[in-house]
Amino acid sequence: MRWTPLPIVLPGAVPSGKIDDPAGSPKRNVLMQGSDQSGAGRKTGSEEPVSTAAGLSSSEALDLTIVIPTLNEAGHLSGCLDAIGSDFAKRVVVLDSGSTDGTRQLADRPGVDWLDFQWNGRFPKKRNWFLREHPPATGWVLFLDADEYLTPYFKQELRRVLPDSVHVGFWLRYTVFFLGRRLKGGYPMKKLALFRVGSGEYEKIEEDHWSALDMEVHEHPVLAGSIGIIHSKIDHRDMRGIGPYMAKHAEYASWEAARYLKCVNDPEIRASWTWKQKLKYRLIRTPFAGVVYFFGSYFCYGGWLDGSAGLAFALLKMSYFTRIYCRIRELDQGSGKRC
């Protein structure tokens, strides 16, 4: 799981080949960056079953490629693949960055393809590399993190909506798990992770080893066309613990600060910002961004409903935005420029 767009503080840029194996075993495509070769989910409590009468039958695979970026995801991948099932999408691809924990062995099952990715520290990162070097032969592509489990209600709604959709992409909604429980409140988690193949790609941001993050984090797909929303949720079950959570957000904060300093002085980039992005970047250049996030998440969006876990979650997020501000100040002072 990689990004949580937020309605007030952390909104993103919102825009305006199948491999068959007759033997039944998955083919392994081991390709590097730069190559020229062309679980059962559970009800979240707020979702209702969606009829498939207007869409595909439950046994017919959607015209969809599901791409699962991984790096040492042995603790999550089996559950993610089980939740997808064998007849939901025409193709499932595990896009790996050199896992050493047995992730590859867990992906070794019929109907799952494997791609190796090695990042050179520059554009493109993992998702855009896949879209450019291995464009799916299906009509749609869904980028799914290994700790994101499709629920039966999400799959039913997608079967009904996707075949006849007039949209080029869909916002997806997620449950959030923290300290071993599903949170009821806090800013809603939403990502634009499902879109038509060829309708666009993730934002192009030229960076030079800003971090070790080889996959798009807060870059968003820029799509040509209308965007819909899938109402049924995907379960986001990050169970790695608080240590990895904090280390990951420390890297995110450094990346966000570097992105801010690169983009804020570029008139062309600034002209493309939505009002939400303008608000976001006004806030993160001040020490008040974290405070605004905390009050919005904990009080306005019901984080208090989750008791001590909700309070801890809001405080950690407040610390994340404060860290971005401090890192911007630090980089700005080192460069001698004024942001």
The answer, yes or no, to whether residue 70 has pLDDT greater than 90, is: yes
139 and 102 in a single domain? The answer is yes
215 and 79 in a single domain? The answer is yes
pLDDT the model gives residue 57: 53
pLDDT the model gives residue 34: 39
Q: What is the pLDDT of residues 208-255, one digit of tens each?
A: 766 677 888 778 899 999 999 999 999 999 888 888 889 888 988 988
pLDDT the model gives residue 58: 59
Q: Which two tokens stand for residue 297?
A: 């998440």
Domain that holds residue 93: 62-240
234 and 258 in a single domain? The answer is no
Residue 317: closest CA among 222, 199, 186: 186
161 and 206 in a single domain? The answer is yes
Q: What is the pLDDT of residues 161-213, one digit of tens each?
A: 999 999 999 999 999 999 989 999 999 999 999 999 999 999 887 777 666 77
Evaluate whether residue 2 is within a structural domain.
no
Evaluate whether residue 167 is within a structural domain.
yes
Evaluate whether residue 221 is within a structural domain.
yes
124 and 261 in a single domain? The answer is no
3-state secondary structure of 227: strand
Q: Which two tokens stand for residue 27?
A: 């083919």
Query: 184, 205, 240 — which closes off a domain?
Result: 240
Which amino acid appears at position 24 of this protein?
A: G
Beta bridge partners of 171: 192, 229
229 and 254 in a single domain? The answer is no
Residue 276 half-sphere exposure, CB side, CA atoms within 13 Å? Answer: 12
CB 89 within 8 A of CB 142: yes
Number of domains within the chain:
2
Look at 297 and 35; give whichever has higher pLDDT: 297
170 and 251 in a single domain? The answer is no
Other residues' Cβ atoms within 10 Å of the Cβ of residue 326:
13
Look at 154 and 268; give whichever has higher pLDDT: 154
* CATH code of 135's domain: 3.90.550.10
| Torsional sign, CA 251, 331, 260, 327 | positive
153 and 263 in a single domain? The answer is no
128 pLDDT band, cuts 50/70/90, is very high
3-state secondary structure of 37: coil
Alpha helices in the chain (DSSP H): 77-84, 103-107, 126-133, 152-161, 242-263, 267-271, 275-284, 289-295, 307-335
